[in-house]
Amino acid sequence: MASIKVQSLRKEFVTSDSTVVALENASFEASGHVFVSIVGPSGCGKSTLLNILSGIETPTSGIAEITEGDKKARNGYVFQAARLLPWRTVMDNLLFVQKDRDAETRERCQRYLEMVDLGHTANKYPGQLSGGMQQRVGIARAFSIEPDVLLMDEPFSHLDAITGRSLRKELHHIWMETRKTVLFVTHDVGEAVELSNRMVIFGQGGRLREDMKIDLPFPRDPADDAVALTKANVLRTFEELDLVAS
Ligand SMILES: Nc1ncnc2c1ncn2[C@@H]1O[C@H](COP(=O)(O)OP(=O)(O)OP(=O)(O)O)[C@@H](O)[C@H]1O
Ligand SMILES: [Mg+2]
């Protein structure tokens, strides 16, 4: 079972003329089959948190680690933009992040493409796919390394409402099936309420302001009264904390 541990985490970026505190004294833990949304206004350190957890950035102080048992866990990172290599086919984009390129690995990659309904695109180039399809390839790529933890940074924010809605359903389905630990950054409180069983709210200066459970049965329909009410309550919390959901 994978565990995420963030303890007294601080990150500052020092440039020639200023120091920006991106995260300040953040602590939370999550483990097992949970879907944790990280929400908060622009610039509150959400991407920085995922970058530190994935090892792209180093913390200034504190702890940020993902473990599986007593080992370092494997993480799959879905970026805000799909970030596919345009000169490689869809299959080659998935193979690029694998340790091996043998038949078994190919089969696994194909299986994850099929999971996002893109089995037929293996030999196409990213430029031949729509934005939503490219994003689905990005999701298949993250799952194809069979990570212990999925880190997702606003993966649906650039998509139209209909594509976003169908991908949210798909992601929920995959999460139920694979039982991974997911850390999902979003600006969209509705999206967070629909998908997650826990919401961690960050505020200005990278301070963790609220850590709340969302105890509603899945699947959740945004039009459902209980889901709409929870969303309204979270937005009220944003107001009370003086956070602007941008
Ligand atoms: N490499 C960097 N160098 C300098 N400052 C940085 C760097 N990366 C992030 N920052 C600053 O750290 C703060 C947090 O940035 P971060 O990208 O984590 O915010 P965010 O919550 O993901 O915002 P958004 O919702 O707009 O994506 C911001 O003030 C940002 O300008
Ligand atoms: Mg960001």
Closest residue by Cα to atom 3, ligand 1, is 13
Answer yes or no: are the C-beta atoms of 38 and 51 closer than 8 Å.
no
Phi-psi group of 45: left, alpha or beta (phi > 0 → left; psi -120 to 50 → alpha; rest → beta): left
> Hey, where are the domains in the chain?
1-74+181-246
CATH pick for 1-74+181-246 out of 3.60.20.10, 3.20.10.10, 3.40.50.150, 3.40.50.300: 3.40.50.300
CA-nearest of 28, 41, 22, 49 to 235 is 41
Q: Is pLDDT of 245 > 80?
A: no
pLDDT (tens digit per residue) in 218-239 = 999 989 999 999 999 999 998 9
Pocket residue to mutate for ligand 1, from 12, 20, 77, 156, most atoms within 8 A of Cβ: 20
- Identity of the residue numbered 229: L
Answer yes or no: are the C-beta atoms of 171 and 219 closer than 8 Å.
no
Pocket residue to mutate for ligand 1, from 15, 39, 46, 79, most atoms within 8 A of Cβ: 46
Dist. CA 56 → ligand 2 center (Å): 14
pTM, two decimals, is: 0.91
- Listed in sequence order, the residues at least 6 apart from 25 whose beta carbon sits closer than 8 Å to its beta carbon are 8, 9, 10, 62, 207, 208
- Listed in sequence order, the residues at least 6 apart from 153 whose beta carbon sits closer than 8 Å to its beta carbon are 46, 47, 50, 77, 78, 79, 80, 185
Answer yes or no: are the C-beta atoms of 26 and 9 closer than 8 Å.
yes
Counting atoms of ligand 1 from 1, which one is nearest the CA of 45? 18
Q: Is pLDDT of 115 > 90?
A: no
Pocket residue to mutate for ligand 1, from 13, 58, 185, most atoms within 8 A of Cβ: 13
pLDDT (tens digit per residue) in 149-181 = 999 999 888 788 888 888 888 889 889 988 899
Closest residue by Cα to atom 26, ligand 1, is 42
The C-alpha R_g of the chain, in whole angstroms, comes to 18
Q: In what order do the strands lie in the sheet with 75-78?
A: 75-78, 149-153, 181-186, 35-39, 198-203, 207-213
pLDDT (tens digit per residue) in 174-219 = 899 888 999 999 989 999 999 999 999 999 899 999 999 999 999 9
CA distances from 12 to 49, 73, 200, 221 (A): 12, 25, 20, 39
15 ligand 1 Cβ < 6 A: yes
Cα of first residue to Cα of last residue in the chain, in angstroms, is: 34
Position 246 scores a pLDDT of: 47
Beta bridge partner(s), residue 245: none
Position 244 scores a pLDDT of: 64
